[in-house]
Structure 1
Amino acid sequence: MNEFIHGMDISSMDEVVRLGGKFYHKGQEKRLVDILKEYGVNYIRLRLWVDPYSEDGISYGAGGGDLQTTIAIVKEVKAAGLKYLLDFHYSDFWADPGKQIKPKAWKKYGDEELAKAVFAHTEDTLKLLKRKGIFPDMVQVGNEITNGLLWPDAKKPDYDNIARFVNRGIRGVRAVDEDIPIMLHLDHGHDWEMCCDWFDHFLERGEEFQVIGLSYYPVWNGELKGLIDNMNLLAKRYGKPIVVAEVAQPFTMEDYADYEGLKPEERKGAAAKPALLKRLEYPATEEGQVLFMRKFIEGIAAVENGLGAGYFYWEPAWLPVKGSSWATKEALMYMQDPGPCGNEWANQGLFDYDGNALPALEVIKSAYLR
C-alpha cells in the first residue's frame, strides 16, 4: 500500500448532522469531512447493512447504514478528495464477535442460498457504486468475523462455512474489480494466538485477500504493546499489510446525559465506563488521548517491513445529539436485545460533546505532514 492510512469511520455523520449536530475547527463551523481533511485524514470507512429497517420501514438507527445514506456520505467524501473503505456487514444491523445475525430476507436460506446472496449483494452494490462514479478504494468483506458470520450457519469453529461465505464475498468484489484491495477484519487485535488460528484456518480454505484488519480498543484490550507485538508477529507470518480498522481512546469520563435528553432508564450510557479505566495505559483525558494517539501511530508506522499500513479511528464524530442512538426500539427487536438505547460512544470521539475538534487531531496532522 502506497500511502499510510490516517482514516476515520464516520458512518453516523448523516444522522448526527440531520439531528442538529455541528462541527467546529478552532471556533469556526465547517463540514466534518473538511475538518478531518484539514487535520491530515486521507481515508474514510463506512459500514453498510443489508436492510436496516423494520417491516414498517422504521430505521434501526446508528447512523442509518443503508445504501442510500452511504452514497450520500460517499459523495461528500469524494468531493473532498478523500478515499474510502466500504465495510460489508452481511447483516441488517451490527455484526461483531457477539452477534452476526442473518438479514431478514435471508433468514430461511440454506448454505448455498446464503452463499449466492452474499455474492449477489456484494456484486450488485459495487456495480451500482461503479456506475455512479463513486467506487470504493478498499472493500472489507465482513465485520469483526472472528467468530464467523451469518450465524448459525457459519459460526466458529465451522471454518469450512466461514471460508465458504467469505470467499463468495471476495468473488463478488472480484466480479466487479480485479485489483481493489480486500480486507478481512478480526477483533481483539492484541491476541496473537486467536489471530494466528483464524488466519491459518482461512488460508487453508480461502481466496486471496490483500489486507489484515484488526480492532483495538484500550478500554477492552489493554496496553498498546499487545497490539504492536501482534502486528509484528502477523507481519512476519503472513507478509500482508495490516490496518487497525477500529480504534478509539476516551478523552473524558464526564457524563453527557443532558445532551441526549433521555430518561435514565432510556439510555445505555458510555461504553467506556469507569470500571474499565484500570485497563487504560493513558488516562481518559484530552492530554491522555493525545499521548495515546502519538504512541499508537508511531507503533504502527514501525511495524516490521513497513507492513503497518495505518488505521481508522472509529466514530470520532458521533456527537450525543438528541435522537441519535446506537439502536432504535425496532433494532432491539431485530437483535433480541434488551437495550436500552442512547449514545454509547461520545466520550471516545475526537470532538467534544459540542462538536469542537480535540487536540488529538493535531497529532494526526503532524504525523501526516511527516
Structure 2
Amino acid sequence: MHLARVCLLLSVLLPFTNCLTYHGADYSTLINLENAGKTYKDGGTTEKFDAILHNHGVNLARIRVWTSTNNADYSLSYGLALAKRAVALGMELLIDLHYSDTWADPSKQAIPSGWPTTLSGLDSEIYTYTMNLVSAFSAQGTPIQFLQIGNEINNGILWPVGEISSAGYSPLSQLLHSAANGAHDADGSVKVVVHLANGWEESAVASFYEQIFIAGEFATSDFDVMGFSFYPYYDAGATYTALLASMDNIVLKYGKDVMVVETDWPSSGSCSGVTLSQSGIPLSSSGQETWVNGIKNILSEVSGGHGIGIVYWEPGWIGNDALGSGCSNNLVVDDSGNTLASISLFSADM
C-alpha cells in the first residue's frame, strides 16, 4: 500500500497516531553487497533491495560518503551511483559526509589523506570539498535535500584541529561554518544537518549547542536540522523518556527540526553482555517494529511538530548482522536476503 494511504488509514483508525514526514533507511553498503553477489527477495520475488525498501515506505535514502576515491570505501562516485538509483525510485536524499577516508564517529575523526593540517587550510578545503560535492549531486539530476556536515560530531571533526577536547569549540565552529557555506553556495535549497550521537543525553546535547555558536563563526542560521543517533545497546539511559526530554529541550531553545538519523533493534539471536535500554521489547521482528514505533511516538510529541523523521541504519547488511552492536542480528532480512515481517516498519511504524 502507498505510504500516504497507510498514513491516512492510520490517522482514521488511530486518531492520535501521526506518520512522520520522512521514513528513512541508510543502506549505503548496497552496491558493495551486490558486487559480492548478495541478492534480496520480498514475498519470494527477487528485487533490488532499494526497490524493496521504497515499496515498503522508505522515502528518504541516507547515503554516507567518505573522502576516499575507492568505491569500496564509499567514494563520491559510489554515492552518486546509489543516489541516482534512489531518486529514480522516488526517494529524497540525506547525504552523510564523514569528512574522512574511513569511519568517523565520536571515537575517531581522522583528517583525510592529502588534506591540510592547519585550521586555515582545512577551512578552505572543507568549503571547496562540500561545495563541489553538492554541485556534483545536482549536476547529475539528484539534488541533495539534506546534507550532514559530519557524522556523530560530539567531539568535533578533522582531529586534532577540530577536536573539541583538545582545541575547544572555536575551530569546530569555524569548520562547520565553512562547510555550511560551501553547501549553500552550491545549492541554496539544501538543508544542512548537524549530527550528534546519543540524542537521549539531554545535558550533553544542550552543552554542545550552548558552545558551538560563536560570533562570526557557526550560527543558528547556518543549518536547518538537528540529527541524532538513538541506539538501545550502548547505555541503559537511552530510553524513550530520556529522548523526549532531550528533544523537547533542544527544540524549545532553538526551534529546529529534529530527526533520528540512526537507529536499529535486534530481529533475532542474542545480546550477550548487553542490557537493552528499553525493557519489555522482544528480540524479534515485532520488537523491531515496536522500537521504531516508540521513536515515532516520541518525535510526534516534540513541540511544534519539529520531529520529522527516522532513519533505520543498514537494515540489509548481510554478513554484518550485528551492525557493530553486541546483539547478533539487527537486520530486516535473513542471511539469504529474504525480507522479515519487520520490513513493514517503514510504512506502519514511522
TM exceeds 0.5?
yes
1:149 aligns with 2:157: yes
The 5 A counterparts of 1:1-370 are 4-51=21-68, 53=70, 61=72, 64-106=73-115, 108-157=116-165, 158-204=168-214, 205-207=217-219, 208=221, 209-221=223-235, 222-253=238-269, 273-281=271-279, 282-320=281-319, 347-367=329-349
CA contact (8 A) 2:269 2:327 kept: no
List runs of 5+ in structure 1 lacking aligned partners: 54-58, 255-272, 327-341
CA contact (8 A) 1:290 1:359 kept: no
Contact 1:184 1:212 in 2 (8 A): yes
Q: Give the match's secondary structure for 2:172.
A: helix
The structural deviation recorded for 1:142 is 0.8
* Structure 1 residues 313 and 300: alpha-carbon distance in aligned structure 2, compared to 1, 3 A threshold: same
- Are the equivalent residues in 2 in contact too, given 1:39–1:364 (CA < 8 A)? yes
1:344, distance to aligned residue in structure 2 (A): 8.5
Q: Percent identity?
A: 26
Say whether the 8 Å CA contact 1:293–1:360 is kept in structure 2.
no
The superposition leaves residues 329-356 of structure 1 with CA deviations (integer Å, 9 ceiling, x where unpaired) of xxxxxxxxxxxxx999871122222212
Deviations 1:201-257 (A, max 9, x none): 122341321000000101114322221221111111111100011111111226xxx
Unaligned segments of structure 2, at least 5 residues:
1-18
| 2:272 and 2:326 in contact (8 A); partners too | no
Contact 2:232 2:276 in 1 (8 A): no
1:346 touches 1:353 (CA, 8 Å); kept in 2?
no
CA distance in 2, matches of 1:350, 1:230: 28
CA distance in 2 between partners of 1:16 and 1:343 (Å): 20
Deviation at residue 136 of structure 1 after TM alignment: 1.1
CA contact (8 A) 2:24 2:346 kept: no
C-alpha change, 1:278 and 1:298, in structure 2 (3 Å) is: closer
The Cα of 1:167 is off from its aligned counterpart by 0.8
Q: Pick which of 159-168 and 197-206 moved more.
A: 197-206
Contact 1:320 1:346 in 2 (8 A): no
Which residue of 1 is the match for residue 3 of structure 2? none
Q: Return the structure number with greater relative CO, CA threshold 8 A, min gap 6.
A: 1
1:343 and 1:65 map into 2 onto residues whose CA distance is: 21
Query: What is the TM-score when the length of structure 2 is the normalising length?
Result: 0.86
| Post-superposition offset of 1:38 | 1.3
Aligned length: 323
Task: Return the alpha-carbon distance in structure 1 between the equivalents of residues 247 and 33 of structure 2.
Answer: 34
Change (3 A) 1:362 1:3: closer
Q: Which moved more, 1:110-119 or 1:293-302?
A: 293-302
